[in-house]
Amino acid sequence: MNNFDKTAYWQDIDQAHHIHPFTDTADLNNRGTRVITRAEGVFIEDSNGKRYLDGMAGLWCVNVGYGRKELAEVAYKQMLELPYYNNFFQCANTPAIELSKVLAEITPDGLNHVFYANSGSEANDTVVRMVRQYWKLKGQPERSYIISRKNAYHGSTVAGASLGGMSGMHAQGGPMLPDIAHIDQPYWYGEGGDHTPEEFGLIAARKLEEKIEELGADRVGAFIGEPIQGAGGVIIPPSTYWPEIQRICDKYDILLIADEVICGFGRTGAWFGSDTFGIKPDLMPMAKGMSSGYLPISAVMVGERVADVLINECGEFTHGFTYSGHPACAAVALENIRILREEKMVERVKNDIGPYFANALKALADHPLVGAVETVGLIAGMPLVDDKKTRKGFDKPGTVGTICRDACVANGVIMRACGDRMVLSPPLCITKEEIDELVKRALAAFDETAKKIGKM
């Protein structure tokens, strides 16, 4: 079979049997699945042999890049030695034990305990149960409310979708979990009006205080936020936002949860987004970059305050997964962190490749469709707009973004459209030449988009 026959073969089977995540499957079946068969560095290749520069590191996760043999080798070795054993019933495996120590070292001060799961969604489910159990043990079970933000993403299990602020998700598979409230997001470009970003950061943060006052502080257990909202379109909050959120959480004695599933493991030029924004989280769910996506593993880092109660006052915490602390996944995570450390990848994002990325993307800021280029480290968001001066978006949100995303794919670069915000989150190993290539391909795609909608 030649490549094209093989592709048709896989597409037929896929269409017959596979329901894809976050996909209009009928539409996909009309268009045909793109079958990705191999990858190396920052490039992926499909079954027709076409190569794409992966500007998204998969789904924001392949931080060390594709094709790292060390990761495959430790998985292979661990699977031969001990492919599986659980961490229940007085047992533990050595990779999970060692990983716990390393995570306590690299995460912010005060986070010294870890609970393992398999995905970001499961980590956030764990967080919900921990928060509510913590307050119950503290004799305040009525503090069951968790406050989140509109346009937040925290996963797609029932708890993840409920915590998230995506209306399209709340509309399906409900009812959502009770006692979760959503406040406005700190999205200055889209919602900041005539305020300066700094003013707007304070206004957005004070929505938390208003919500606490409305619900009653004695009913609120926690606030959850991504340091930078990823799936919401890479919404980078103004500098005033997180310090004010921290102040409010401290004032009302509310637990602060930083969802580091995207920001963690170097993405923002520090180990965690909490380091970049000066957040002191009580609970810190993380996943993705923890293993660079080579095997599924996630975790919740638990701060002293919660750990002390959960460990000393709870008795059995009736929560856990068959694969919590899976030895092969933990071994891969350990090796992944070793690579990040030894190759100083996080420092490189901060001091070298991150600034280069920000500078290179300036070429896109001049494009007639692009309202702004917003970056931190190796993550970027670019709103496509109808009017650059007034920051006015397009009438049918999402349409131009989708056209642009498809044009990017056609031009050999993977970018994602979150509504009309084009986003980037490339592997941390990307080189300067590859960033130049990414920008070149993106510019061609943006031009095609502008022509298609009559803006050029």
Give the binding site for ligand PMP (CB under 6 A): 59, 119-121, 124, 153-155, 160, 226, 230-231, 259, 261-262, 287
Question: Which is closer to ligand PMP, CB of 421 or CB of 441?
Answer: 421
What is the secondary structure of 219-235 as a DSSP string? GEEEEEE-SSBTTTT-B
Report in angstroms how near the CB of residue 46 gets to ligand PMP at its nearest: 22
Amino acid at 432: K
Pair 415, 408: CB distance under 8 Å: yes
Question: Which is closer to ligand PMP, CB of 160 or CB of 327?
Answer: 160
Report in angstroms how near the CB of residue 264 gets to ligand PMP at its nearest: 9
Report in angstroms how near the CB of residue 257 gets to ligand PMP at its nearest: 11
Q: Which region holds residue 26: left if phi is over 0, alpha if psi is between -120 and 50, else beta?
A: alpha
Neighbouring-strand partners of residue 285: 300
CA atoms 258, 261, 265, 266: torsion sign: negative
Pair 388, 367: CB distance under 8 Å: no
Question: Which is closer to ligand PMP, CB of 284 or CB of 369?
Answer: 284
Report in angstroms how near the CB of residue 436 gets to ligand PMP at its nearest: 28
Question: Which is closer to ligand PMP, CB of 228 or CB of 309?
Answer: 228
Closest CA to 68 of 349, 426, 330, 429: 429
Contacts of 213 (CB under 8 A, 6+ apart): none
What CA–CA distance (Å, rounded) separates 156 from 54? 24
Closest CA to 330 of 120, 106, 103, 123: 103
Question: Which is closer to ligand PMP, CB of 284 or CB of 328?
Answer: 284
Report in angstroms how near the CB of residue 120 gets to ligand PMP at its nearest: 2
Question: Which is closer to ligand PMP, CB of 290 or CB of 346?
Answer: 290
- Scanning 113-240, the segments in alpha helix (DSSP H) are 120-137, 158-163, 167-170, 188-191, 197-215
What CA–CA distance (Å, rounded) separates 383 from 372? 6
Is 247 in a helix, a strand, or coil? helix
Question: Which is closer to ligand PMP, CB of 149 or CB of 367?
Answer: 149
Tokens of 130: 């921990």
Amino acid at 200: F
Question: Which is closer to ligand PMP, CB of 57 or CB of 439?
Answer: 57
Report in angstroms how near the CB of residue 270 gets to ligand PMP at its nearest: 17
CA atoms 308, 106, 299, 145: torsion sign: positive
Q: Which run of H or of E encompasses 358? A: helix 354-360
Pair 67, 40: CB distance under 8 Å: yes
Please state, as a whole number, how many other Cβ atoms lie within 10 Å of the Cβ of residue 425.
Answer: 29
Report in angstroms how near the CB of residue 145 gets to ligand PMP at its nearest: 20
Question: Which is closer to ligand PMP, CB of 232 or CB of 303?
Answer: 232
Specify the pairing of strand 111-117 against strand 416-418: unpaired
Report in angstroms how near the CB of residue 262 gets to ligand PMP at its nearest: 4
Report in angstroms how near the CB of residue 151 gets to ligand PMP at its nearest: 12
What CA–CA distance (Å, rounded) separates 349 from 426? 11
**First-to-last C-alpha distance (Å) of the chain:** 43
Q: Nearest residue by C-beta to ligand PMP?
A: 120
Question: Which is closer to ligand PMP, CB of 283 or CB of 364?
Answer: 283
Report in angstroms how near the CB of residue 119 gets to ligand PMP at its nearest: 3
Question: Which is closer to ligand PMP, CB of 208 or CB of 379?
Answer: 379
Report in angstroms how near the CB of residue 260 gets to ligand PMP at its nearest: 8
Closest CA to 261 of 238, 237, 283, 239: 283
